[in-house]
Structure 1
Amino acid sequence: MSEDRFRHVLGYIDSHLDDTLSLGVLAAQAAYSPFHFHRRFAALTGMGVHRYVKLSRFKRAAWQAAFRSDLSVTEMAMQAGYEGPDAFSRAFRQRLGVSPTAFREQPDWARWAHAWQDLDQVRRFVMPLAHQHGDVRIVEFPETAVACLPHRGPQERIGETIRRFIAWRKENRLPPSRAATWNIAYDDPDETPPDAYRMDICCTCASVLPNEHGVVAATIDAGRCAVLRHTGPDSQLIDSVRFLYGEWLSAGKETPRDAPLFFHRVTFFPDVAEHEAVTDIYLPLASGT
């Protein structure tokens, strides 16, 4: 199975988690016989195709449990392909240590951060991104007023900050469809001590009233930026960032400005299939000559 066919199969799985994903269906997508497909899939991913599908469905349901409070446990279980909420709760407890309801009340974000490593490893190392210099465009970014919730501390606990920000957005009726979502990244998590890690969770907003969530008014500065569109899971976002700082900067004459990298979250998982999530990466640049 070529890399392109393999990428197609994983994308098909992401887009059809609510459908029947039998061995025969997926083998047909790969243009392989079922006899050879499951062996080739296991050789490339390190896990069987049935397990991969089950974990993909479970991951979506678990993200819904963490960030989509309007969905019931029964609805999540059905969408994940379980016979009922009891079976789903057992699987949730096995992977995350607690039931979905208990996790919603008191999340263990450290365990959460490591729960998807097997799936993320498949995507990142078996399906590497292939960027081209022509994918990067230069724009004049306008000064943008935002509502900002600073995250300070271990990256693995950022889910806690996201949930607080979602709660503020709901109270202020500012869903992503009405107010663009931004992340401001001050630090490289691989090079920063966990307690010193900083990222701001933001959305476009002209003014912010005092609130109990810690959301404050802030501004993303205007200026020239290089923009690279990343399409795919967050586990591969670091690869797109490294392309910008590595190959792209090395090949041209641009110089980074003394301002943090920031992201525009155009669409995101679990609202869309994971391979269809879109993030625009903005690298601030020095003024042109």
Structure 2
Amino acid sequence: MIVSLEAYRTRMRRVLEHIDRNPESRLDLDALSAVAAFSKFHFHRQFTAIFGMSVHCYVLSVRLKRAAYRLAYREGRITDIALEAGYGSPDAFARAFRRHFRQSPSSFRRTPDWDALRAVSALFDKTRMDLMECRFTPADVTIREVAATPVAIMVHRGDPSGIGATVQRFIAWRRASGLPPWRTPTFNIFHTDPQVTPPEAFRLDLCVGTAGPIPARGEQIEHGFIPAGRCAVLRVHGDEEAQKAGMLYLYRDWLPASGEETRDFPPYCQRIALYPDVAGHEAVTELFLPLAEAG
């Protein structure tokens, strides 16, 4: 039987999604080759040839990246995080975590090594990028009349490499203020593009939708509005790389062909389903490109 390239990619993509969704389950060659419907005698060679790493290394990266995000950004016992990552004991989890991140899980929770997390994430994202590539069409973009949205804002200014620490402070402030993401919406406003902006000039606003002023609780919190108006909206499923691909599509492909003009407000997004609460490919983000009034 001849398998088309797209069918082949679909079967491998199914494996990655299965690993994302079930990091705590048995993810050996027998189980994953069955998900792909490939012979187990060849699956390991196929996987390594495509992704440049073994199945074991890939599974380890998925488990430890998600565990690191849970440690940095979520509450919960380290023992539970270890079990959710597929480790039978906290000691086994701690040894694996230390090899990858140069810190114990408890130390990482207190003072995360963001450089180590970025290094692991970059390798992981590069491995997935081609196969999990997002493809968009004009039918994926809708034009929506958006109401003005009051928001509380924590501003990140400076090197993008420090965003992780700002996000950690934002989550802690939000938790202390009783504004969990399942109750109040989460927005990011992209004032600058890190690809073309000097690190010292970079700005990203972390926002939570709120009907009234919220105590700052020792943080620098601003209050403002995402203004009303027309927006092109693109819903993206996946991680940060998928979101970058979506924003690139809006500016490079959709906007020039649409006949639309942008208005004087930066692009922004609403985070609908957040990693690590959901698997990487199940994260959902809506990208908003503010447009000038029609006519």
Give the TM-score of the pair, scaled to structure 1. 0.95
Q: Does the Cα contact within 8 Å between 1:229 and 1:278 map onto a contact in 2? A: yes
Please say if 1:73 is aligned against 2:78: yes
* 1:98 and 2:103 aligned: yes
Output the CA distance in 2 between the equivalents of 1:81 and 1:275.
Answer: 19
- What letter is aligned with 1:51? C
CA 1:210–1:271: 2 relative to 1, 3 Å? closer
Give 3-state SS (helix, strand or coil) of 1:39's partner.
helix
Q: Are 2:256 and 1:287 equivalent residues in the alignment?
A: no
Alpha-carbon distance in structure 2 between the residues aligned to 1:238 and 1:50: 28
Residue pair 1:165, 1:215 contacting (<8 A) in 2 also: no
Instruction: Tell me the distance in 1 between the aligned counterparts of 2:196 and 2:165.
Output: 22
- The corresponding residue for 1:132 is 137
CA distance in 2, matches of 1:85, 1:251: 54
Does 2:215 align with 1:215?
no
The match for 2:33 is: 27
Partner SS state of residue 112, structure 2: coil
Deviation string 1:94-146 (CA, Å, 9 cap, x unpaired) is 22222121122222223322221111012223321111110000001111001
2: CA distance, partners of 1:57 / 1:28: 20
Tell me the percent identity: 43
1:167 to 151, 172, 189: 172
State yes or no: 1:2 paired with 2:4.
no
Hey, what's the Cα distance between the residues in 2 that align with 1:4 and 1:269? Answer: 23
Distance of 1:148 and 1:7 partners within structure 2: 37
User: For residues 36 and 193 of structure 1, what CA distance do their matches in structure 2 show?
Assistant: 47
Tell me, in whole angstroms, the C-alpha distance in 2 between the residues paired with 1:286 and 1:14.
Answer: 39
The answer on whether the counterparts of 1:137 and 1:226 sit within 8 Å (CA) in structure 2 is yes
Partner of 1:225: 231
Instruction: Count the aligned residue pairs.
Output: 288
> How many angstroms apart in 1 are the aligned matches of 2:158 and 2:114?
12
C-alpha deviation, 1:164, in angstroms: 1.0
Mean Cα deviation higher: 105-114 or 157-166: 105-114
Structure 1 equivalent of residue 157 of structure 2: 152
SS of corresponding position for 1:134: helix
Q: Which position in structure 1 is the counterpart of 2:4?
A: none
Q: In 1, Cα distance between the equivalents of 2:258 and 2:37?
A: 41
> Is contact 2:151–2:210 with CA below 8 Å preserved after alignment?
yes
Work out whether residues 230 and 290 of structure 2, in 8 Å CA contact, stay in contact via their aligned partners in 1.
Answer: yes
Give the C-alpha shift of residue 48 in structure 1.
1.0
Q: Which whole-Å CA distance do the structure 1 matches of 2:22 and 2:115 have between them?
A: 29
Counterpart residue identity of residue 191, structure 1? V
1:181-236 CA deviation, whole Å, 9 max, x = no partner? 00001111111111211101111112223430222212111111000000011122
The match for 1:240 among 238, 246, 267 is 246
Check if 1:269 corresponds to 2:267: no
Q: 2:156·2:205 contact (CA, 8 Å) conserved in 1?
A: yes
Distance in structure 2 (CA, Å) of the matches to 1:114 and 1:42: 20
Higher alpha-carbon deviation: 137-146 or 4-13 = 4-13
SS at match of 1:202: strand
Query: Structure 1 stretches of 5 or more lacking a match?
Result: none
Partner residue, 2:3 = none
Mean Cα deviation higher: 168-177 or 104-113: 104-113
**How far apart, CA to CA, are the structure 1 residues paired with 2:107 and 2:129?**
31
* C-alpha separation in 1, matches of 2:69 and 2:215: 29
How far is the alpha carbon of 1:93 from its aligned partner? 2.2
Asked if 2 retains the 8 angstrom alpha-carbon contact of 1:186 and 1:261, the reply is: yes
* CA RMSD of superposed structures (Å): 1.4
Q: CA deviation at 1:163?
A: 1.2
